[in-house]
């Protein structure tokens, strides 16, 4: 078999855990090819014990499912390396995706244990896509969730995504920057992401630019002549206050202003950022450069940004890299993909994973997810997971209750109910309307505004209600009693 360069590979069909193929072979051997199964993708805990997560990655999930096909190279590998028999190989050769898929739209706040993607279809097909769906949704939802925290900490100041060089691979750099833009960054340093997704790209110089010239002033003057309309100077290569700022001010007065331009900004990438920015602001203002913006970088996250603002740092924007693009504080989203039901003679037969660990017991059957909003405030009140055929009438009172502590009950009035899972594929055909990245970003900002402030705290946020309907709770309880 010819060796393909990894960067040439576009067919991701074999991005599976191998057990998905062994199970598929078993289903094939036992005449289960036409068995209809329901799978739920959900997560159990918000990263960093936060109050909410952000859904992302649906567009890439769609791309993957639309191109799902075993190549001859794939089939040759499975035949030669794993001895799959010819009948199964022939089945894979004719493989075509015909499942129904639902997903919560990108940019929507999501919460533990509710299905964020639902798949219904022939069990082999639904099983084979597990890994790719998880890696796609887990990664982008993780980065979007982390970004939302960082953007919130900045209190309206622009946050710039600078993480490509520290990302866990090139896909993570590009798609992580996409997820970060959905969740609120002003732009990215990743040029490929900017090209592919039409996201603003930003960047100026590295320390190597300054070091490449005979002295700092020469380096600044050269950059200003190349980019007079957009001059942002990195001032910490040698000494911010004794060298970098004075030379940046000279460049502003001696190169830019005579040509009719202004110094757009400076960036500080090391040192005591609170102290240095205050002193830099004083120096710039005293020289008439009150419109010059100050950007800081250097291993920032939401906690450092919050502290800088509390300490009075004179910062106009933040460049955030490794701690955003890797979600360094908690780099795993933890989404799982579990069987929820099997169809037998047209009837949905619930399936459920049991465990001595109560948090790993799954919710059975074909389900829907509803979000309740207060009509007066517009804020989200609770989510309720129901059986798929249940319809919630938001003109009538609705009782919610804690599925584990059932005596905790509340009757909701004056609310609107929204069904969150939207059709993406019907019998393998895409039905989901394409949204621009700007529309998704706007949706995210709007939905975040509909969360109570208590959910957005970094420490000990309020727990959001994710409850089960009476019918689903009864279905779950009946199965629990059986075992």
Exposure of 24 by Cβ count < 10 A (0-12 exposed, 13-18 middle, 19+ buried)? buried
The Cα 450–Cα 330 span in angstroms is 25
Residues 476 and 360 in one domain: yes
The Cα 308–Cα 426 span in angstroms is 50
| Confidence band for 4, pLDDT divided at 50, 70 and 90 | low
pLDDT, tens digit, for every residue of 228-245?
A: 999 999 999 999 999 999
Is the pLDDT at 466 greater than 90? The verdict is: yes
Is the pLDDT at 169 greater than 90? The verdict is: yes
pLDDT at 81: 86
Residues 198 and 82 in one domain: no
Residues 172 and 308 in one domain: yes
Question: Is the residue at 13 inside a domain?
Answer: no
> Which of these three, 276, 298, 325, is where a domain ends?
325
Is the pLDDT at 5 greater than 90? The verdict is: no
CATH number, position 86: 3.20.140.10
Q: Which of 483, 150, 176 is nearest to 306 (CA)?
A: 150
Quote the number of domains for the chain. Answer: 2
Question: Is the residue at 352 inside a domain?
Answer: yes
| Confidence band for 432, pLDDT divided at 50, 70 and 90 | very high
> Which of these three, 277, 308, 325, is where a domain ends?
325
Question: Is the residue at 196 inside a domain?
Answer: yes
pLDDT cut 90: percent of the chain above it: 94
- What is the average pLDDT across 430-440? 97
- The more confidently predicted of residues 358 and 133 is 133
Residues 346 and 439 in one domain: yes
Q: What are phi and psi of 347, to 5 degrees?
A: -105, 140
Q: What are phi and psi of 365, to 5 degrees?
A: 80, 180
| Longest CA span, the chain | 84
Write the DSSP assignment of 121-161 as a string of letters: EEHHHHHHTHHHHHHHHHHHHHHHHHHHHHHHHTTTS-EEE
Question: Is the residue at 173 inside a domain?
Answer: yes
Is the pLDDT at 266 greater than 90? The verdict is: yes
Distances (CA, A) of 73 to 80, 128, 454: 11, 18, 53
Question: Is the residue at 11 inside a domain?
Answer: no
Residues 201 and 347 in one domain: no
Is the pLDDT at 150 greater than 70? The verdict is: yes
pLDDT at 1: 43
Question: Is the residue at 4 inside a domain?
Answer: no
Q: Residue 135 sits in which domain range?
A: 18-143+331-482
pLDDT, tens digit, for every residue of 353-406?
A: 988 787 889 999 999 999 999 999 999 999 999 999 999 999 999 999 999 889
The Cα 381–Cα 464 span in angstroms is 8
> Which of these three, 292, 325, 358, is where a domain ends?
325
Question: Is the residue at 10 inside a domain?
Answer: no
Residues 364 and 452 in one domain: yes
Q: Which of 122, 140, 143 is nearest to 68 (CA)?
A: 122
- What is the average pLDDT across 322-334? 96
pLDDT, tens digit, for every residue of 37-69?
A: 999 999 999 999 999 999 999 999 999 999 999
Note whether 89 and 79 are within 8 A (CB): yes
Distances (CA, A) of 314 to 11, 230, 273, 274: 49, 21, 9, 7
pLDDT cut 70: percent of the chain above it: 98
pLDDT at 483: 73
Distances (CA, A) of 436 to 4, 59, 447: 33, 10, 17
Residues 337 and 300 in one domain: no
Mean pLDDT of the chain: 96
Residues 300 and 431 in one domain: no
Residues 295 and 344 in one domain: no
Write the DSSP assignment of 60-90 as a string of letters: HHHHHHHT----HHHHHHHHHHH---HHHHH
Query: What's the pTM?
Result: 0.96
3-state helix, strand, coil in the chain (%, to 5): 40, 20, 40
Residues 265 and 336 in one domain: no
CATH number, position 211: 3.20.20.70
The Cα 153–Cα 457 span in angstroms is 10
Task: Enumerate residues 6+ apart whose C-beta is below 8 A from 188.
Answer: 160, 161, 162, 164, 177, 180, 181, 194, 199, 200, 201, 202
Task: Enumerate residues 6+ apart whose C-beta is below 8 A from 10.
Answer: 67
Residues 184 and 306 in one domain: yes
Residues 121 and 176 in one domain: no
Judging by DSSP bridges, how do beta strands 465-468 and 380-387 pair with one another? parallel
Question: Is the residue at 9 inside a domain?
Answer: no
Q: What are phi and psi of 422, to 5 degrees?
A: -110, 145
Is the pLDDT at 440 greater than 80? The verdict is: yes
| Confidence band for 7, pLDDT divided at 50, 70 and 90 | low
pLDDT at 482: 84
pLDDT, tens digit, for every residue of 170-196?
A: 999 999 999 999 999 999 999 999 999
pLDDT at 348: 97
């Amino acid at each position: 078999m010819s060796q393909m360069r990894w960067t040439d590979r576009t067919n991701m069909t074999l991005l599976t855990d191998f057990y998905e193929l062994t199970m598929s072979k078993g289903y094939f051997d036992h005449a289960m090819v036409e068995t209809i199964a329901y799978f739920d993708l959900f997560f159990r805990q918000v990263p960093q014990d936060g109050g909410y997560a952000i859904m992302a990655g649906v567009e890439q999930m769609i791309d993957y499912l639309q191109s799902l096909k075993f190549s001859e190279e794939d089939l040759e590998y499975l035949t030669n390396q794993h001895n799959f028999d010819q009948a199964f190989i022939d089945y894979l050769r004719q493989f075509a995706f015909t499942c129904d898929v639902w997903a919560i739209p990108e940019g929507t706040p999501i919460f533990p244990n509710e299905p964020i993607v639902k798949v219904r279809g022939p069990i082999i097909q639904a099983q084979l896509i597990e890994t790719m769906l998880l890696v796609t949704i887990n990664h982008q939802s993780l980065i979007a969730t982390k970004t939302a925290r960082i953007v919130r900490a900045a209190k309206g100041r622009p946050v710039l995504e600078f993480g490509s060089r520290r990302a866990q691979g090139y896909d993570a750099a590009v798609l992580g920057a996409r997820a970060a833009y959905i969740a609120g960054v002003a732009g990215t340093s990743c040029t490929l992401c900017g090209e592919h997704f039409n996201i603003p790209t930003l960047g100026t110089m590295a320390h190597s630019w300054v070091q490449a010239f005979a002295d700092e002033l020469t380096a600044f003057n050269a950059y200003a002549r190349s980019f007079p309309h957009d001059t942002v100077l990195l001032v910490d290569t040698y000494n911010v206050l004794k060298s970098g700022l004075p030379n940046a001010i000279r460049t502003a007065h001696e190169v830019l202003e005579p040509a009719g331009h202004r110094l757009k900004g400076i960036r500080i990438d090391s040192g005591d950022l609170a102290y240095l920015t205050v002193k830099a602001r004083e120096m710039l203002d005293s020289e008439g450069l009150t419109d010059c913006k100050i950007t800081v970088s250097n291993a920032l996250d939401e906690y450092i940004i919050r502290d800088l603002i509390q300490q009075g740092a004179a910062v106009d924007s933040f460049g955030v890299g490794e701690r955003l693009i890797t979600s360094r504080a908690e780099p795993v989203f933890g989404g799982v993909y579990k069987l929820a039901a099997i169809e037998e003679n047209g009837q949905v037969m619930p399936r459920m994973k049991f465990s001595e660990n109560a948090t790993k017991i799954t919710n059975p059957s074909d389900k829907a997810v509803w979000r309740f909003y207060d009509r007066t405030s517009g804020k989200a009140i609770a989510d309720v997971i129901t059986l798929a055929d249940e319809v919630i009438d938001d003109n009538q009172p609705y009782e919610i209750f804690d599925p584990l502590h059932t005596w905790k009950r509340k009757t909701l009035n004056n609310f609107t109910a929204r069904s969150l899972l939207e059709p993406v594929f019907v019998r393998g055909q895409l039905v989901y309307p394409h949204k621009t990245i700007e529309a998704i970003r706007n949706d995210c900002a709007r939905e975040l505004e509909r969360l109570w402030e208590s959910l957005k705290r970094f420490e000990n946020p309020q727990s959001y209600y994710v409850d089960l309907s009476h019918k689903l709770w009864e279905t779950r309880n009946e199965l629990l009693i059986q075992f």
